[in-house]
Every structure is written in structure tokens, then in C-alpha cells.
């Protein structure tokens, strides 16, 4: 696509609509739905991730002399740390107590989405050093903005290694993922569990529907405005109870349905003619990603059924390799979702502050590793020996 004599240029883009969708997607690839131009631009067009909400787009685009896009980075200038799922509020407080200024900061991530995926988007025909050029460009933008720090949340492990080599501080977190071990039915999956957990899950699935609840799994042309109306009501209600404010606007869900319906998997629970709960997932090439859940009412075990068990049902039916159920939730491990590491990388301008953070991260990495080992050993529902 480009030879060694081409002169490359980097530009910062404040509206993703100014980048042709096909050019962006050629770099992002088609595996992860959250990196698609359609998804990221919907966040901007719906006024969900814009400067007014503390997410000023600063996307990097690497082009050759002919204007062909060779690489890109989704990036934002942040005035807060909300909607990120990698928590640095303590760092912000520490720096500000010492007389520094933590915000604004730069962040490479998918807004409101704790899902691992590429952050250094490189065209398949680009030169081997393109990812390194993107890393250098990110740091240069951070220096020009004179921000305190630059963060890369939920990159792939390979990118995390590359960023560490470039001098970024490395952080490890954990989530709970379900892995498909070649199951052909949900009962096949249950067969891999110990007898007590099999019984528990069957009881939870039965009890979730005991109040006359019916479940619909909707995707593609099955999705209608009435489904999004109901789901948004659940989303707002849950956001108000848990976080105090909702990140996503109603317009975002309309755009998602219009642009990416075939990748949307919306699990809706109905009691009679009234929808009472819903779980939103997006489907990638080999992974189902759980994103949002909401419910109006008290329905025991319905959260487990809609978010975890129906996701497993869908993944098995589609032959997907895994389900990533989102952030937090130690209770997921007893339902077949085992602890898996997640990654973030952090460039900090002030050397003294960077040393303090580095010492903290070294302790935290050891603690996270120990926690994952302990959780799996103590709570894993899977059989250790054949029955």
C-alpha cells in the first residue's frame, strides 16, 4: 500500500465523521464491533461522547502522501475519569493534593466500554513499524496538549507489551469470561460443572421464569423501536440507581439499531405484554460482549438468566469462542465465567509522580494475580476430575 519512500503524516481528528468509514474500518478490522466506525461515530453523533460530556475526540490518523489511511487510534481528551472502568481517581487526588493538575488527560479507549480490543489500528498492508509510529504520535500529542498523562485502556496483550517497551507503565486488572470448550448445548456446558453447581444453575434458570417471565433474544430485523424504547427505560432506571447519571443518550440506541443491527443481541424479558428487563450484547467474530443491563421490578435470578445464561445459549448456538460479560461481578465465577486478566498502559509526564504510580502498580499486579488464582481455586464451578 505504501513503499519506504512515502512521507507519512499524522493528523488529529475531532469528529470521526471526517474520516471515511471504509478507511477507518480497514485499519480496525472486523473482529471487534466496538472499534467499528459505525459504533464510535454513533457515540459522537448521539452526543454521548463529545466535549460537553467530557469526551473531546482527538483521534489520530496516519496517512501516506496520497491520503491513504495506514493507521489510527481512537483517543479522547478527558476532563474526568468516569465511564472508563480503569480507575485512576486515587491518582488524580494524589497529584492534586501535591499541587499538580491531573485533568485534562488523554485516553485511548472505547467510551463506556470495558472490552479488550486493539487500540493501535494498523492497515494490513502498512509497514511493520506503523504501530510504533502511532505510539510515538500519541505521546507527542500528549506533550503538545501539556496533559498530565496519557492512558490506554483495555488494549490487547500484545499492544500492552509494546506500550511497556515504549516506556508506559503497565497495569493489570481482571474480568470474568466464559470460554466455549466445544459445547453443542447448554447441557453440555453443565456437564463440565460439579453436581452442586449444575443443580444451582438449573434452579436459577427455572426460578428466573417462575413469575410468568418469558425471554426473547432479538437481533437483526427483529429489533424494533419499541424494544429500544423499553430497553432505554431500563437503562436509565438502572443508571439512576447505580451511577447517578446515564452515559448513553436515547439517540445512540437508535443509531446502533440502524447501523449495526446484525451485531446487536438484545435479550428482553417480558411478563405478559409488558417488558420488564433487558440485556444488551454486541457480537464480534468469535466473542459475544455483554454491555448493559436494566430492570424495572424485583425478579429473582432474572439478571443471571438474561445476562449470563442466555449469552451462553447464544454463543453455543453461534459457535462463538467466548462471552465477555463486562466489568466487575465476582458472582459470575460460580456461573462458569472464570477470571481473566485485562490490561492498561499509562504515560505520566511528571517523573516523580510516575515513579510513585509505578511502585503502586507493581504491588497491584501481584495482588491481582494472587486474587485471580485464589478466586478460581475457591469458587470455580468446574469439575477437577471426571465423575
State mean pLDDT over 100-127. 97
Q: Residue 150 has what pLDDT?
A: 98
Q: Residue 241 has what pLDDT?
A: 59
Whether 83 contacts 327, CB under 8 Å: no
Least confident range from 4-8, 145-149, 303-307, 349-353: namely: 4-8
H-only helix segments in the chain: 21-28, 37-45, 89-97, 130-145, 157-165, 186-191, 195-208, 225-242, 250-260, 302-304, 310-318, 351-379
Q: 241 in helix, strand or coil? A: helix
Which grid cell is 146? 501539556
Which grid cell is 338? 472464570
Sheet strand arrangement including 264-271: 55-57, 76-78, 105-108, 149-153, 338-348, 169-179, 322-324, 287-295, 274-283, 264-271, 213-218
- Superfamily of 9-174+340-375 according to CATH: Gcn5-related N-acetyltransferase (GNAT) (3.40.630.30)
State mean pLDDT over 205-213. 96
pTM: 0.95
pLDDT band at 326 (very low <50, low <70, confident <90, very high): confident
Q: Residue 279 has what pLDDT?
A: 97
Q: Residue 327 has what pLDDT?
A: 84
Q: Residue 384 has what pLDDT?
A: 77
pLDDT band at 329 (very low <50, low <70, confident <90, very high): confident
Q: Map out the domains of the chain as residue ranges.
A: 9-174+340-375, 181-320
State mean pLDDT over 255-271. 98
Least confident range from 108-117, 145-154, 321-330: namely: 321-330
Q: Give yes or no for residue 49 having a pLDDT over 90.
A: yes
Q: Residue 246 has what pLDDT?
A: 84
Q: Give yes or no for residue 1 having a pLDDT over 50.
A: no
- CA atoms 353, 356, 362, 364: torsion sign: negative
Q: Which CATH class is domain 181-320?
A: alpha beta
Q: Give yes or no for residue 2 having a pLDDT over 90.
A: no
Q: Give yes or no for residue 106 having a pLDDT over 90.
A: yes
Of residues 215 and 329, the one with the higher pLDDT is 215
Distance of CA 136 to the CA centre of its chain: 24
Q: Residue 3 has what pLDDT?
A: 43
State mean pLDDT over 39-57. 98
Report the share of the chain in percent with pLDDT over 90.
Answer: 91
Q: Give yes or no for residue 335 having a pLDDT over 60.
A: yes
pLDDT band at 243 (very low <50, low <70, confident <90, very high): low
The DSSP 8-state label assigned to residue 6 in this structure reads P
Q: What is the mean pLDDT of the chain?
A: 95
Whether 147 contacts 105, CB under 8 Å: yes
CA distance 314 to 334: 19
Distance of CA 26 to the CA centre of its chain: 20
Q: Residue 275 has what pLDDT?
A: 98
CA distance 206 to 199: 11
- The pLDDT tens digits of the residues spanning 71-88 come to 999 999 999 999 999 999
* 181-320 has the same fold as 9-174+340-375: yes
State mean pLDDT over 32-58. 98
Q: Residue 385 has what pLDDT?
A: 65
CA distance 70 to 91: 35
Amino acid at each position: 500500500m505504501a513503499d519506504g519512500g512515502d512521507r507519512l503524516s499524522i493528523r488529529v481528528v475531532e469528529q470521526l465523521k471526517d474520516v471515511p468509514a471504509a478507511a477507518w474500518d480497514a485499519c480496525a478490522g472486523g473482529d471487534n464491533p466496538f472499534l467499528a466506525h459505525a459504533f464510535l461515530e454513533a457515540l459522537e453523533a448521539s452526543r454521548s461522547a463529545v466535549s460537553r460530556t467530557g469526551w473531546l475526540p482527538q483521534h489520530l490518523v496516519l496517512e501516506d502522501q496520497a491520503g491513504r489511511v495506514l493507521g489510527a487510534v481512537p483517543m479522547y481528551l478527558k476532563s474526568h475519569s468516569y465511564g472508563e472502568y480503569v480507575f485512576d481517581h486515587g491518582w488524580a487526588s494524589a497529584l492534586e493534593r501535591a499541587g499538580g493538575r491531573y485533568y485534562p488527560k488523554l485516553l485511548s479507549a472505547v467510551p463506556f466500554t470495558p472490552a479488550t480490543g486493539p487500540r493501535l489500528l494498523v492497515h494490513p498492508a502498512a509497514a511493520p513499524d506503523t504501530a510504533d509510529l502511532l505510539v510515538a504520535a500519541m505521546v507527542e500529542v500528549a506533550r503538545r496538549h501539556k496533559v498530565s498523562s496519557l492512558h490506554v485502556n483495555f488494549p490487547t496483550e500484545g499492544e500492552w507489551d509494546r506500550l511497556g517497551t515504549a516506556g508506559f507503565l503497565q497495569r493489570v486488572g481482571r474480568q470474568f469470561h466464559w470460554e466455549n470448550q466445544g459445547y453443542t448445548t447448554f447441557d453440555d456446558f453443565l456437564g463440565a460443572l460439579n453436581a452442586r453447581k449444575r443443580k444451582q444453575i438449573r434452579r436459577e434458570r427455572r426460578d428466573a421464569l417462575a413469575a410468568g417471565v418469558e425471554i426473547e433474544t432479538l437481533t437483526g430485523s427483529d429489533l424494533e423501536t419499541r424494544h429500544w424504547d423499553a430497553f432505554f427505560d431500563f437503562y436509565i432506571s438502572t443508571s439512576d440507581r447505580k451511577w447517578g447519571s446515564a452515559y448513553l443518550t436515547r439517540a445512540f440506541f437508535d443509531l446502533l439499531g440502524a447501523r449495526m443491527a446484525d451485531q446487536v443481541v438484545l435479550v428482553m424479558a417480558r411478563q405478559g405484554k409488558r417488558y420488564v428487563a433487558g440485556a444488551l450484547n454486541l457480537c464480534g467474530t468469535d466473542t459475544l460482549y455483554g454491555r448493559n443491563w436494566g430492570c424495572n421490578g424485583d425478579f429473582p435470578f432474572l439478571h443471571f438468566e438474561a445476562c449470563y445464561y442466555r449469552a451462553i445459549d447464544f454463543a453455543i448456538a453461534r459457535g462463538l469462542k467466548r462471552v465477555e460479560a463486562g466489568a466487575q461481578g465476582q458472582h459470575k465465577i460460580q456461573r462458569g465465567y472464570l477470571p481473566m486478566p485485562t490490561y492498561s498502559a499509562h504515560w505520566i509526564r511528571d517523573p516523580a509522580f510516575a515513579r510513585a504510580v509505578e511502585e503502586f502498580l507493581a504491588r497491584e499486579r501481584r495482588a491481582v494475580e494472587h486474587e485471580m488464582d485464589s478466586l478460581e481455586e475457591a469458587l470455580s464451578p468446574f469439575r477437577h476430575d471426571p465423575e
